[in-house]
Amino acid sequence: MREKLGCEVVLEKPKDRSFGHFATPIAFSLAKELRKSPMIIAEELASSFDDHDIFTSVESVKGYLNFRLSEDFLSEYAAWALDNPTEFAKQEQNEKILLEFVSANPTGPLHIGHARGAVYGDTLYRLAKHLGYDITAEYYVNDAGNQIDLLGLSIALYARENILNETVEYPESYYRGEYLDGLANGAIEKFGKEIFSDESRYKELALWAKDGVMDIVVDSLANLNIHFDTFVKESSLYSDWDRVMQKMGDGIYKKDDKVWIASELKGDDNDRVVVREDGRPTYLAGDIVYHNQKFERGYDHYINIWGADHHGYIPRVNAAVEYLGYDSSKLETLLSQMVSLLKDGEPYKMSKRAGNVILMSDIVDEIGSDALRFIFASKKSDTALEFDLAEFKKQDSSNPIFYIQYAHARIQTLLSKAEVSKEEINSATLKNLGDNADSLLFDALLLPEIVEDAFSSRQVQKLPDYLKALAASLHKFYYDCRIIGTDNEAKLLKLLLVVALSLKVGLSLMGIEAKDRMSREED
């Protein structure tokens, strides 16, 4: 259609399906340029589609173009999708993308705030992969600086109090949680108990322990079906510091015994310190070296997913990218907002063993990875999210992930009761289905559009929204239409196979495996 009209076309789905499958207001966009009424333009465009075999009709209605897809096209497309399930909704994009997300400090287990960015990033990654992008999922390990030193101190204090039975005085800031027990006992095997009483060795303890914490993090992510292609350690970057500072040129300067980046000239609120008076680099310094390394690897596009509290870092990192000689428009930073957790309508109580956070692993243990992934992908990442655990433990239609899984399982149950053979189902044509069935088929075949839109808009919640709507249509169709034992059984079961395919592929793009059987099936 884009080729025929010579421009980008915005397609909308009319609420009233009697108007057709798609509509576009393109005539209104062209009116000023062509100096014609939108209604005249729409009529001229509609007449140019007379010989198009994809549509049964293209009509002009009050300046809009309304398109109705042909039964032949829908039937053939559905048959192709069933014959090529692994290719359904796929594309071939010629673009290399580096996607960085999570990147939590290796000082403790992931909490639910980290989980939101993790699910958002992994869902984007899966969508991009399916669309054919050459995308790399990367974790930036912030394993340098004060937070790592504090890890060594925290382990030593924990061990002295809980293993050596000493009385200790805790500082205002330190890490706490059950994970310290495993690290402390591991340290005893590695170094012996004496390391806890020697402050000069706390750095050594911390450098060893951070790898153990990363093992905890990686295992927690794997339990959520999230995996990374590459890991980059901040500590490995500082050997390149002098060269990168040379590349920055006039973008950095010295003042008050500090090194500053002139980020205000690039749109930041003011200039920022990158090296302190005592020579220690700031957090921003590591980001500068890291982003230089990213761009030197030669990707076409770079995406960062950061917590909302890092919003202020966006202009200063963009400034650094510009000073390094790169195009900052190739760097896209997306934000992930905080999460509020309820249980039976009350604020979720933090466990003493987890310290002062709600651990991601605790929530996975309570409601499962599928439910957690679905929740965290179901709302725009840059808006606050509040949910009640109790809602996602219910085994009924009020739980959206159960509702969708039940739709897929319901189809499998119907197929197991079929009175026609698989060959009859496969060879059936999806023509003359009737309005309700035709509408369900169209909805099921919309998945490719949804996948592309969810990724290009970076709004992954469009995928779970679509799956909920498709499941609702399936359940309604099941109650409204008799299937087994009818003259149309073969074609209706083939229709349901298309629905099942869209549900299965859509769930897989959310890191969720579709279920063939559910405990509450009544079919």
What would the pLDDT profile of 80-130 be if each residue is shown by its tens digit?
999 999 999 999 999 999 999 999 999 999 999 999 999 999 999 999 999
Indicate whether 413 pLDDT > 90: yes
CB atoms within 10 A of CB 390: 14
| Residue with the larger pLDDT of the pair 49 and 242 | 242
Question: What would be the CATH architecture of the domain defined by 2-69?
Answer: 2-Layer Sandwich (3.30)
Mean of the pLDDT values across residues 301-322? Answer: 95
Span 376-388, mean pLDDT?
Answer: 93
Any residues with CB less than 8 A from the CB of 76 and at least 6 apart, and which? none
DSSP assignment of 276-302 equals -TTSPBPHHHHHHHHHHHHHHT--SEE
Q: Over 60: is that where the pLDDT of 523 sits?
A: no
Other CB atoms within 10 A of residue 462 CB? 19
Residues 6+ apart with CB under 8 A from 36: 30
User: 73 CB contacts (<8 Å, ≥6 apart)?
Assistant: 53, 54, 55
Any idea which of 5-19, 147-161, 466-480 has the lowest mean pLDDT? Answer: 5-19
Assess contact for 10 and 26: CB atoms under 8 A. Answer: yes
Task: Note the pLDDT of residue 448.
Answer: 96
> Average pLDDT in the 179-204 region?
96
Q: Which residues contact 59 (CB under 8 A, 6 or more apart)?
A: 20, 46, 65, 66, 68
At residue 63, the pLDDT reads: 74
pLDDT per residue over 288-298, tens digit each?
A: 999 999 999 99
Question: If one looks up domain 73-92+394-508 in CATH, what number appears?
Answer: 1.10.730.10
For the chain, give every residue range classified as CATH 3.30.1360.70: 2-69
Residue 352 has pLDDT above 70, yes or no: no
d(CA 467, CA 444): 9
**Average pLDDT over all residues of the chain:** 91
Q: What is the DSSP annotation of 137-195?
A: EEEEE--SSHHHHHHHHHHHHHHHHHTS-------SS---STHHHHHHHHHHHHH-GGG
Report whether 471 contacts 503 (CB < 8 A). Answer: yes
The answer to whether the beta carbons of residues 518 and 394 sit under 8 Å apart is no
Burial class (CB in 10 A: 0-12, 13-18, 19+), 124: buried
List Cβ neighbours of 244 (8 Å cut-off, separation of 6 or more): 288, 289, 292, 324
Q: Does position 186 have pLDDT exceeding 60, yes or no? A: yes
What is the Cα–Cα distance from 260 to 274, expressed in whole angstroms? 5
Does the pLDDT of residue 7 top 90, yes or no? no
The pLDDT assigned to 230 comes to 98
Nearest 5°: phi and psi at 446? -80, -10
The boundaries of every CATH 1.10.730.10 domain in the chain are: 73-92+394-508
User: 10-19, 250-259, 457-466, 468-477: lowest mean pLDDT where?
Assistant: 10-19
3-state SS assignment for residue 109: coil
Q: Which residues of 162-174 are buried (b: 16+ CB within 10 A; e: fewer)?
A: eeeeeeeeeeeee
Upper half-sphere CA count for residue 29 (Cβ side, 13 Å): 11
Look-up: residue for tokens 């087994």?
484
Spatial CB neighbours of 116, under 8 Å, sequence gap ≥ 6: 336, 337, 338, 339, 376, 381, 385
pLDDT, average across residues 250-258: 95
Please check whether residue 334 is in contact with residue 382, taking contact to mean a CB–CB distance below 8 angstroms. Answer: yes
Residue 327: burial class (beta carbons within 10 Å; 0-12, 13-18, 19+): exposed
Convert 382-446 into a string of H (helix), E (strand) and C (coil).
CCCEEEEHHHHHCCCCCCHHHHHHHHHHHHHHHHHCCCCCHHHHHHCCCCCCCHHHHHHHHHHCC
Q: What confidence score (pLDDT) does residue 48 get?
A: 72
Nearest CA to 444 out of 65, 83, 1, 82 is that of 82
CA atoms within 13 A on the CB side of 187: 34
Percent of the chain with pLDDT over 70: 92
Contact at 8 Å (CB) between 8 and 2? yes
Question: What is Dmax (Cα atoms) for the chain?
Answer: 88
pTM above 0.95, yes or no: no
Distance of CA 516 to the CA centre of its chain: 25
Q: Is 349 exposed, middle or buried (0-12, 13-18, 19+ CB in 10 A)?
A: exposed
Tally of residues, the chain: 523
Q: How far is CA 330 from CA 281, 320, 333, in A?
A: 26, 13, 10
